[in-house]
Amino acid sequence: MDITLLIKAAVMGIVEGLTEFLPISSTGHLILAGALLGFDDEKAKVFDIAIQTGAIFAVILVYWQKLRDTLVALPTDRQAQQFALNVLIAFVPAVLLGLLFGKAIKAHLFTPVVVASTFIIGGFVILWAERRQKMNPATARIHEVEAMTMMDALKVGLVQCLAMVPGTSRSGATIIGG
């Protein structure tokens, strides 16, 4: 048993756990932590996938009630149908761009330099968005998911595509884009 590998895995697990539910890039943090720890070989890549699968299950667990209620109401409830349609519309841009550019993104952008750069750029974008909101609080048009139109869902889906660049937070991009 390799104790060093176990320690690296524990550190990576802590990084994932601390970053997954914040509007920061958990993948970006895993890339940087892995580079700093020397944990960036093929085993580390498999570990990253496994650990993020656990985070996806945690998200499903947190939103299980909303997901179940929506699925049950889907055949008859207009609001559930609109919600499901909006999720599908928001999902399509990422699928298309992922299919078109996924290999190139993985080959060229999953580096510590790109991640650190997007952290910095993302920080400035958040500061800009907060300043903009304070200067004009009436800019928020939608205050709940149910009020979104299909065009709003498409815009959110397009903004989420920025998160294909490692270091860009999908939730942060969604919050700012929304």
What does the DSSP 8-state code read for residue 165? Answer: S
Model pLDDT for residues 13-47, shown as the tens digit of each residue: 899 888 887 888 888 999 999 999 998 888 888 88
Map out the domains of the chain as residue ranges.
1-62, 78-178
Annotate 9-78 with DSSP letters as a single string.
Answer: HHHHHHHHHHHTTTTS-HHHHHHHHHHHHT--SHHHHHHHHHHHHHHHHHHHHHTHHHHHHHHHHTTT-H
Report d(CA 97, CA 161) in Å as an integer.
8
Instruction: Tell whether the model's pLDDT for residue 11 goes beyond 90.
Output: yes
What does the DSSP 8-state code read for residue 142? Answer: -
Q: What percent of the chain has pLDDT over 90?
A: 45
Other beta carbons within 10 Å of 125: 16
Question: Shortest CA distance to 162 belongs to which of 144, 143, 145, 175?
Answer: 175
- Cβ-count burial of 137 within 10 angstroms (0-12 exposed, 13-18 middle, 19+ buried)? exposed
Instruction: Tell whether the model's pLDDT for residue 103 goes beyond 80.
Output: yes
Model pLDDT for residues 75-102, shown as the tens digit of each residue: 999 999 999 999 999 999 999 999 999 9
